Structure 1
Amino acid sequence: MHVALTGATGFLGLRLLRRLLDTHRSVTVLVHAGSGDALHRITRFFALTGAPEPFVAELPGRLRVVETELEQPRLGLSRRAFQELAGGLGAIWHSAGSINLEGGLPELRRTNVEGTRHVLELAAAGRGRPVVHHVSTAFVAGSRREGVAYEDELDDAHGFENAYERSKYEAEVLIHAWSREHRRPVVVLRPSILVTDLPPHPELPPHPLQVVERILRDARHAAGPGSPGHDGAGPDGPHGAVPGGRPRVRLVGHPHGRLNLMPVEHAAEVMVRLAGRTPSGGVDTYHVVHDRDVPVLTITTLLERLVRLSIDLVATEPDDRSALEALVDFYPGLTAYLAHRRRFDDTRVRALFGPSTASGRVDLDYLWSGLAPRDRVPAGPSPTPTPTAAFPSARYA
């Protein structure tokens, strides 16, 4: 059975490709037209991450690279090329998409919804009726911040934290309609926030927390020397500087919040194992998540160490924002999740795989390893983030 993979040069796609090459002699990678030398980037990833030299040397003969345009009908291919591609496939993995939390809905729909539509067209055109494996996100659960999100739930009753979540929700709605119309199986894989302890490298794709770090670092720099605490000056107040000159930033969040962070390597392993099961015939949805959530205070402590800030969690957005806080507020996808306390149910996956589903521990040391260059050492414990506004005593939503 021949398999095609979109998003093969992405953070998750590269790990999926590694797992797929364990079980398939060759893989067709569908890459964005004009994005550069995909084969070189893939080869460099495996070389930099310690893959055996014989494995790396064989890659040019095992990978077929096809340049496509996800946003275009027939993936931007000629009718003949599209039909030839579809006719040789037994499975399609759709991992490509935009994860821009600050993106506008029209832009995200073009990539995440229309891109999915065109991948489904490829599946429908295939003589071998290839099974589609669609990488979604656990965050299609939307802006409900408490309770349990179940795998079979798919509705927009709670709204969404950002346009990215909505676009991924709409893609899943499209998949359900396509599966019913064509009576074809689809496997939907919903990972949580994917991370790694692999140190950052300029030739490796970043993960979400690296993007968050860069946003905070850029915002701190852009606020300039006139912002409170930028150079150690300013009052030691709610939006001033703490001793030592660290700018103090107030972010809306819950002191008992938690986030699900999943090691990307383990997520890829679980996804490929799930793909090895016989599909039900309809849409089979799986949460690919960690069995233990990470406290929000761990995330803020990590960011404090990396960016040299002091982060205070507050219940509501302050009226008297500093220049730095105003800049951070330009990125609505950045802080929305600091108030989340919900849990993603993965009973189905744990029932299938048992103890082998359990992930390695994701703690402050693990996250630091995946964000700090090797020549940096932790700057010592940061001040514990302190709520500076009163929180409701019973619950927070």
Structure 2
Amino acid sequence: MDAEERNGFRLAIGIVLGAVTAVVEFAFTLLSGLVLLLVQAWPLGRQAVLRSVGSAGRWLAERERARLSAWLRIKCSSAYTDERALTYLAWRWPLGLLGAVVLLCALIGGGYSLSFIIGWLVTDVRHPLDLVVASAAGLLLLFMAMQGAIGVGTLERRLARRFLGPSQQDELRRRIEQLFTSRAGIVEAVHEERRRIERDLHDGVQQRLVALGMLLGRALRSQDRKHMDELLGQAHQQSRQALTELREVAWRVYPTALDEAGLRAAVETVAERSAVRVDLDFKVREEPRGPVAAVAYFVVSEAVTNTVKHAQATRIRVMIEGQKDGSLLVCVEDDGSGGADPRGSGLIGLARRVAALDGHFDVSSPGGGPTVIRAELPCG
């Protein structure tokens, strides 16, 4: 079953459940209206009834939110008033009954569209033209019912957004806040990365170069040829280590293999350089664009580095897979001791990088393991 068939099946189930809830909502709306009409002249009683009706209406609206989310992929806010919930229910039940009518028409159309085949297989056909006309009419009715089901789904979305929210203004406000947050996070991540590079250069490469200079100075001042050769040998060793550490720093800043050979080659290099065994499962048909590939690489690199340093793991599994919706899923799992802190500087930096691309980042690391790091990156 492909994605379109699954979506059609979910839509049909959602409309069927909506027809069932519409009956309940109709009864609730009718009963609530009658009760409120009876206590209209009694202020205290009216307030008590309104509170009870509002609570019941919110409960029904929450059931509708669950149905819309599970079957129609419609996300609604929970920040709505009881009055808006009651208004939504009053408008929703006719739409639910309309959905039931649409599905009934689909069943009738499907039955008539099969009448030609069933007629030839089961009975002796005396009027084949009538069967052809009935089948054609059934196909037409089935097609119109399918379009009607899509229309019902669209109306469900608009009605829920109108009364339950979020409204377009709320969405824009949320998006602006998200952009402000992600921008601030990226600035902080850049500063943190610069500080880490400075520490690596100061504590690693710089110390190597200082030691190299001291060894060369001692070699120049030495009068003993054998001692001079030993000092030069040590200086040569220090220069090689300094070059290796400088390459490590440059690789952490941005790997050239990412541009020259692509994401897979860059991640394979991380796996080869790891002190812990890394199993790579790469299922990407098209090379992701530059920013997405860079973030995916840094997620893998940082996760593998953290595992080697802290997790006491014996195996790491890296999975990079292209999703049907066009996003890129990156998952790094190890068999270590767990207990990774999602608020640590390294993981916070990864979360900010992913958020800058409107992606989703998640860390699961219970005590005793395993640690699973997941990042979903949109590629559009």
| TM-score, with structure 1 as normaliser | 0.23
Indicate the structure whose relative CO is greater, using CA pairs within 8 Å and at least 6 residues apart: 1
Q: Which has the larger radius of gyration?
A: 2
* Structure with the higher strand share, 1 or 2: 1
* Structure with the higher helix share, 1 or 2: 2
